[in-house]
Structure 1
């Protein structure tokens, strides 16, 4: 068991949360069990958060603020900890995504997140951890967020229209082992057969004529307004400016025309899969 001296608040935002939680609890003269009773969690859970073995949640942070009489303090700390997991603007994007009636996606290097199988997600996030680009906690939380998004999309009735254009590199880049890639490509073939899903491949042969230098998403909301989101390696951008979104929509229309047609795209995906199977 770690003690207060062993936990460095500068190690991570969640470590800072744990140190502050323990300090506030001790200032009140409460045991871990005593705090746990007041917030509806177990003493084991409180201990895990204090020692950075379990990440805090928004509900936990709000209950801690109520117990200590510190309106917003721990919730603000929780929100700061989230910034290391999700890009700025992404949480607002997620709220719009959940309400959208149509999604138009473009991805460059990996299969779009909403179309990824769990094994593909784990392989990609695991590589980030091994390279030191992410902590295991951050990777696990990003995975959980993605799986929740997929579940929300699958359960929505009526289902939104999902149109995804993938650069050829998404299919050629190996993520995980051979079996993972075969399963992922089979999943794309199955998705393409669904009536509300359109998949297209943007081949390498488009060269400089391919629009968009970065992944992007265009959402159509129930009131027909649009919301855009794009990412670089380090930052996310939420776009609501109508003129910019109109430019994105025009470029996406061009991309749809230049990409392989729907049936040819599915056959392209199938050919890549067969190449892996027989390679």
Structure 2
């Protein structure tokens, strides 16, 4: 006779619900969880391994949820690759199940293992919903305006970076630019220091292609590019670059990067401090027409470096 014993369904629609099934002792009938190809995507690999370690530990979805302080339906969504994994869930499962450090964390996409993602992740959500973005960059072209080759040259310069991690980061950076392909894209006001036009990144061709891309981007109806000229002798932006996001019905927020990690600022006073700096920088910047002409003049010059 078939053996009766309790089991748990992995159906994401109902979370981890205790039920009773008639099962054979060997090869019995059990509800089939969603099958994953672990090589299909980083999310699929993480979900596959998360389910594997849970089953090896003999735990139900609800028990893992209780241990990690996540909802059972959320854990199920991770296992089914229907939700992008985070470092937090990976570390909590490792800690609660006594797994070797890195067992799950190392499966995360490179951009989520990078410490900066701890703050960049929330910022990406702000960026996706923003109606207006104002960015100041004193050293490099803003990420939302970078070409793939330019981004790769910058990201590959990180000490100890692996090629696979670099490529994942490049892919993630390029994906961010999809916000300008929406039916109602955000407006972007990017102010760049004139020194960026003369800073070699990667190679002559990479840098020239990037400058040409700025000209092309300026023709997008939602993008404005301004150059802060050397002649302005402006100092408010010397401490570093930042981005300010405005979303209708939501508090303004800002992102300030650093060599260690970035930080999202959403306090009204902090954001207003950055906004005052931005206004001071913009007051000395060239209008877009003259800024584009300055970029064109730089492209017309003879380059002497290789």
Counterpart position of 1:229: 255
Equivalences for 1:93-108 in 2 at 5 Å? 93-108=123-138
Flag the structure with larger Rg. Answer: 2
Counterpart position of 1:75: 90
Unaligned runs of 5+ in 1: 1-36, 47-55
Counterpart position of 2:212: 186
**Separation (CA, whole Å) in 2 of partners of 1:204 and 1:159:** 32
Q: Which of the pair has the greater relative contact order for Cα pairs under 8 Å at 6+ separation?
A: 1
Shift of 1:86: 3.4
**Separation (CA, whole Å) in 1 of partners of 2:187 and 2:240:** 22
1:182/1:277 contact within 8 Å kept = no
Q: Does 1:40 align with 2:36?
A: yes
Counterpart position of 1:137: 164
**Separation (CA, whole Å) in 2 of partners of 1:39 and 1:94:** 30
Counterpart position of 2:82: none
Shift of 1:235: 1.7
Kindly report the root-mean-square deviation, in angstroms, between the aligned alpha carbons of the 2 structures.
Answer: 2.7
2:116/2:261 contact within 8 Å kept = no
Secondary structure at 1:228 match in 2: strand
Instruction: Give the TM-score taking structure 2 as reference length.
Output: 0.67
Unaligned runs of 5+ in 2: 1-32, 69-87, 92-103
Instruction: Give the TM-score taking structure 1 as reference length.
Output: 0.73
**Separation (CA, whole Å) in 2 of partners of 1:226 and 1:123:** 32
Figure out how many residues of one structure are paired with residues of the other and give that number: 228
Counterpart position of 1:253: 279
- Alignment equivalent of 1:148, drawn from 161, 175, 185: 175
Shift of 1:276: 4.5
* Cα pair distance change 1:276/1:124, threshold 3 Å: farther
Counterpart position of 1:60: 45
Runs of 4+ in 1 over 6 A off after TM superposition: none
**Separation (CA, whole Å) in 1 of partners of 2:271 and 2:139:** 23
